Amino acid sequence: MRVRRRPSDAMTNPAWLEVMTHDECIELLREGPVGRIAVVVDGFPIVLPVNYRLVEMEGRTWLAVRTRPGNVLEQADAYAAFEIDAIDPHGKQGWSVLARGTLHRVDPDAADFRERFDPEPWMNVDRDAWLAIDTFQISGRRLHPAESEWAFEPGAYL
């Protein structure tokens, strides 16, 4: 599905947004090791980069995260958002996947969670608190660039 952001007469072939399918979003979530988690702490939003692992089981989709015990994420309210993306500023294109859900504390030894879904944090020191986002909505968009008016890409010669 195309979602145009400017009138069609503004350019011959303007940039356009594509709403990605759920399956495309899940595939991108399977591939990435790092994303950003957004939570509310003390009434204010905070967004932090985290390592994660997609957990798919019994018709549910979770995002597993390891963090330090007692840090800001453990103080967060129940609702959370999670985002991954890729941006190509030169090509003026990119994509973004957003997952929304509820944040839960997880016992990593329950149901072999630790062995099956360890997100392998890049900073493994003191990362013994486990959280999971139980997603209720996953969506994504892909920005397609406008077609160049030039027969050749100008950036290739600079």
Helix residue ranges, H only, 11-118: 22-31, 113-117
- The structure's pTM equals 0.77
Instruction: List pLDDT tens digits, range 38-92.
Output: 999 999 999 999 989 898 888 889 998 888 888 888 888 899 999 999 999 888 8
Task: Check residue 8 and give its pLDDT.
Answer: 46
The values of phi and psi at residue 30, to 5°, are -65, -30
Task: Check residue 133 and give its pLDDT.
Answer: 95
Task: Name the residue among 103, 109, 113 with its Cα closest to residue 82.
Answer: 103
Options 2.30.110.10, 2.60.40.10, 3.40.190.80, 2.40.10.10; which CATH number does 15-147 get? 2.30.110.10
d(CA 47, CA 50): 10
Instruction: List pLDDT tens digits, range 27-41.
Output: 999 998 899 999 999
Please check whether residue 93 is in contact with residue 49, taking contact to mean a CB–CB distance below 8 angstroms: no
Please check whether residue 51 is in contact with residue 34, taking contact to mean a CB–CB distance below 8 angstroms: yes
Task: Check residue 121 and give its pLDDT.
Answer: 61
Please check whether residue 57 is in contact with residue 64, taking contact to mean a CB–CB distance below 8 angstroms: no
Q: What stretch of H or E contains 31?
A: helix 22-31
pLDDT classification of 10: cutoffs 50, 70, 90 = very low
**If you search the block for the tokens 């330090």, which residue do you land on?**
68
